[in-house]
Amino acid sequence: MAKKQTTIQDIAKTLSITASTVSRALNDHPKIKKSTKDTVWAKAKELNYQPNTIASSLRKGKAKTVGMIVPRINRHFFSNIITGVESVLNPAGYNLIICQSEEKYDKEINNINTLIANRVSGLLISISLETKNFDHIRRAISNNIAVVMYDRITEELNVSKVENDDISGSYDLTKHLIDEGYKDMMWIGGSRNFNTYRNRFEGYEKALKEIGIDANKYPIFEGSISLEAAYEYFKEYLENNKLPEVVFSASDYMAMGAIMAIQEKGFKIPDDVAISGYSNEPFAALINPKLTTVEQFSKEMGRSTARILLDEMESNKDENIPIKTILRPKLIVRESTINKKKL
């Protein structure tokens, strides 16, 4: 065990050439003879040579590594983004260090510190629900790390961003609800301090305004975006209030919590109350009734984000102007919002 790994020096020695030639050969440098390249490659294979990325990174001052901060890895939306990111970054020779903030500001700061310590070339970040100050991200930038924000962004930072067009998504959805003949609505979602939920509310509001309704006259529940929170809220709500015609939930998980509370009370969906979600989590197509929702093409979001980052890492930073990409989500109509009484 613990046998020393072979280095380019070892290869050089056995071939009676110098390490620099070996290095160049392995990196396919144009000015190296094909024949020496071949012998070097052969010897490398023979000696089971594994390049030492660490040494190379130290020398180059940058690691071929990207850090990615994700609020939670176990949300399909985010894990698909990761997959999309990998599908671009891996072929380009980068690898990913994934960190979870778990929606905590402190964790996010820690994550950034370790990523800086690892001299990552790039950082992808979707901020936690707690994050209101962005100095940690500024620190990354000033350490010469290319930064791209995805999904949960802030306007306070002048970096490239990839967003979903939440306004259109929820506008389209709300319009569908209106077209189904529903008028008496209710909005539930995460805090509107957050771009995603603020925008989802805005789209909802806009569609209602078009038919002369002020969204703020309807009930609004802003809470933690979990099944449990919505379940508890609805259980209590149903004790004291009558049902709206339709519940617009800005999150599939919250929709699910509401559905469980509603069905537990013996109400039928969509007959007694219709409900829609957002994100198209896998369970949305599996529950009964199947949930109307909005597909966000998360894998594609990951790919776009990674492509932008790649560009910024590989060009000379100083002349990068931040770009903003907005992805258009797609309405997915399912049983939970079909109005059977519609004329």
Partner DNA sequence: TTGTAAGCGTTATCAG
Partner DNA sequence: CTGATAACGCTTACAA
Can you give the binding site for a second copy, defined by CB under 8 A?
Answer: 1-3, 5, 48, 50-55, 57-58, 63, 73-74, 76, 79-80, 82-83, 86, 90, 95-100, 110, 113-114, 116-119, 139, 142-144, 256, 260, 282-283, 286-288, 317-318
Q: For residues 203, 209, 215 and 218, what is the CA-based torsion angle, rounded to 10 degrees?
A: -130
Judged by beta carbon distances under 5 to 8 A according to partner kind, the member of DNA, a second copy, none in contact with residue 14 is none
Regarding 143 and contact with DNA (CB under 7 A), the answer is no
- Provide the H-helix boundaries in the chain: 8-15, 19-26, 34-46, 53-60, 76-89, 105-117, 135-142, 166-179, 195-210, 227-240, 252-264, 298-314
Query: Least distance (Å) from DNA to the CB of residue 142?
Result: 15
Query: Least distance (Å) from a second copy to the CB of residue 139?
Result: 8
- What one-letter code names the amino acid at 49? Y
Regarding 19 and contact with DNA (CB under 7 A), the answer is yes
* 3, 45, 59, 340: residue in contact with DNA (rule CB under 7 A): 59
Query: Least distance (Å) from DNA to the CB of residue 7?
Result: 3
Judged by beta carbon distances under 5 to 8 A according to partner kind, the member of a second copy, DNA, none in contact with residue 24 is DNA
Judged by beta carbon distances under 5 to 8 A according to partner kind, the member of a second copy, DNA, none in contact with residue 282 is a second copy
CA-to-CA distance for 217 and 69, rounded, in angstroms? 38
Of 28-57, which residues contact DNA (CB under 7 A)? Answer: 29-33, 35-36, 49, 51-52, 55-56
User: β-strand 330-332 against 293-295: which pairing, if any?
Assistant: antiparallel
Find how far residue 212's CA is from the centre of its chain.
Answer: 35
Residue 48: other Cβ atoms inside 10 A? 8
Regarding 92 and contact with DNA (CB under 7 A), the answer is no
Query: Least distance (Å) from DNA to the CB of residue 117?
Result: 9
Using CB atoms within 10 Å of the CB of residue 268, give its burial: 0 to 12 exposed, 13 to 18 middle, 19+ buried: exposed
Sign of the dihedral through C-alpha 160, 162, 165, 167: negative
* 20, 87, 114, 216: residue in contact with DNA (rule CB under 7 A): 20
Q: Under a CB-based contact definition with an 8 Å cutoff, are residues 276 and 173 in contact? A: yes
Find how far residue 340's CA is from the centre of its chain.
Answer: 36
Closer residue to a second copy in complex, CB, 73/326: 73
Q: DSSP characters for 217-264?
A: GS-EEE--SSHHHHHHHHHHHHHHS---SEEEESSHHHHHHHHHHHHH
* 2, 3, 14, 17: residue in contact with DNA (rule CB under 7 A): 17
Going by C-alpha positions, the residue among 153, 162, 183, 10 that lies closest to residue 84 is: 162
Query: Least distance (Å) from a second copy to the CB of residue 300?
Result: 15
Judged by beta carbon distances under 5 to 8 A according to partner kind, the member of a second copy, DNA, none in contact with residue 133 is none
Catalog residues that contact DNA under the rule CB under 7 A. 4-5, 7-9, 16-21, 23-27, 29-33, 35-36, 49, 51-52, 55-56, 58-61
